Amino acid sequence: MNYLLKHIQKIRLSVRLFILAALCIMPFFTWYLSHLPMGDVKAIIDEDYANVQHYIIHMMDGVAHSGFLSDDALEGTSQENQNISDTIAVASGDVWSARLFGIEWLDMLAWAELTVLSKSMVLPLLAGGLSVLLLTICCGRIFCSWICPAGLLFDLCDKIRVKIEASGRRLRDIKFKRWHKYVLLTVGLFIGLIVGLPLLGYFYPPALFLRELHAVVYAFMDNATEEAWFGVTLALSGVSLFLFALLMFETFVSKRFWCRYMCAGGALYSLFGRFRLFRIQRVKAQCTDCGDCNKACPMGLHPMTDALGIECDNCFACHSVCPEEALPIKITQHDVQCESCAA
Ligand code: SF4
Ligand code: SF4
């Protein structure tokens, strides 16, 4: 256990890279699964293959037949009455909404928006949201620190900032109010309800990137027409521009701007993460007030003074840098050690 805790940042990075890789492969797999019931995958497989799409389809077919999908799912796929949701039982979707080994996963923001828009608790929504809700209540805002692919990019911005500052150049770090994101969440949900659109999802970096990736993969695999490619390229350019501007802003103007001040999804994870069972709790007797943990916290919190609260995303960066091992990960619902325990 101690070994795992010692290497927790490496483990976290590996988990995030694995998830990113899986998310990049997922659109191809979803395409394959969604085309199985139509029989065109079989038709393509039966042909001699000569282009990249054929190679990709052959690869996915090999994976599917290696036991990843049940025989039932594979055999019944050309039947017209095959229910596609039976087939896509193993893995499909992205961080916005996914299905992994039969369990529905729905991003909290997607859950909130779709529930508000549908004005009811639809069962599939409830199931998808509940799994993520339980995970958040148990482990806190770990979607942000362990899963979100955009968070990986924002971490990269933090590292570039450190490198630039190490070279002697001072960068601006404008601080905004953290409550902005809660206001944005409330206003976004309210306006979305009025206009009937999931507005917040349109500007949600993790969903944005992966939605565009899906569109590109589908256009590529379906040999889309020039007009269709024009639409996909236009949308992709808009999204890339938005993300690039955001990354530049994070690097040169305001550190971790999106996660700290603007992310409506992060706001929801924070609200439910306040009940988290796993959290950092400083052992006052061991702390020498060196301040390393404060410097390491990407969320701009102050573990040194126990000021974590609902914004902590359990990245455990503070735990990893503490030279005195004064920031253990505990199963507790309190950020601050009780006075009698400290004695
Ligand atoms: S307080 Fe520690 S665990 Fe929480 S966000 Fe900051 S560095 Fe991560
Ligand atoms: S890094 Fe550890 S010793 Fe230093 S201030 Fe933070 S908790 Fe205390």
Question: What residue owns the CA closest to ligand 2's atom 4?
Answer: 290
DSSP β-ladder status, 278-280 and 103-106: unpaired
CA–CA separation, 161 and 292 (whole Å): 17
Does 255 share its domain with 327? no
| pLDDT value for 44 | 64
Q: Which residue has its alpha carbon closest to ligand 2 atom 2?
A: 322
Domain-embedded: residue 329: yes
Averaged pLDDT, 98-125: 75
Q: Which domain holds residue 291?
A: 277-342
Name the closest ligand to CA 303: 1
**Residue 78 pLDDT > 50:** no
pLDDT value at residue 69: 59
pLDDT higher at 72 or 196:
196
Between residues 239 and 65, which one has the greater pLDDT?
239
Q: Among the bound ligands, name the one nearest to the CA of residue 330.
A: 1
Residue range 231-238: mean pLDDT, rounded: 90
Instruction: Say whether 120 sits in a helix, a strand or coil.
Output: coil
Q: Is the model's pLDDT at 75 over the cut of 70?
A: no
For residue 337, give the CATH number of its domain: 3.30.70
CA distance 77 to 179: 49
The overall average pLDDT reported for the chain is 83
- The whole-number pLDDT of residue 41 equals 65
Span 124-143, average pLDDT: 83
Q: Does residue 105 belong to any structural domain of this protein?
A: no
DSSP 8-state assignment for residue 309: G
330 domain residue, yes or no:
yes
pLDDT at position 326: 94
What are the angstrom distances between the C-alpha of 97 and each of 91, 107, 145, 207?
11, 6, 18, 9
pLDDT given at position 161: 95
Q: What is the dihedral of CA 54, 56, 60, 66, to 10 degrees?
A: 90
Q: How confident is the model at residue 295 (pLDDT cuts 50, 70, 90)?
A: very high
**pTM assigned to the model:** 0.84
Q: Atom 8 of ligand 2 has which residue's CA nearest to it?
A: 287
Task: Give the Cα separation of 187 and 112 in Å (integer).
Answer: 13
Predicted local distance difference test score (pLDDT) of residue 260: 96
270 lines ligand 1 (CB under 6 A): no
Q: Are residues 262 and 159 in the same domain?
A: yes
Alpha helices in 196-316 (DSSP H): 199-202, 205-221, 226-252, 257, 264-273, 292-296
- For residue 280, the ligand 1 atom closest to its alpha carbon is 3
d(CA 223, CA 53): 9
Q: Is the pLDDT of residue 91 over 80?
A: no
Contact criterion met (CB below 8 Å) for 327 and 154: no
How distant, in Å, are the alpha carbons of 269, 304, 324, 327, 328 from that of 284?
28, 9, 11, 9, 11
Domain boundary among 270, 288, 316: 270
Q: Which amino acid is at 93?
A: G
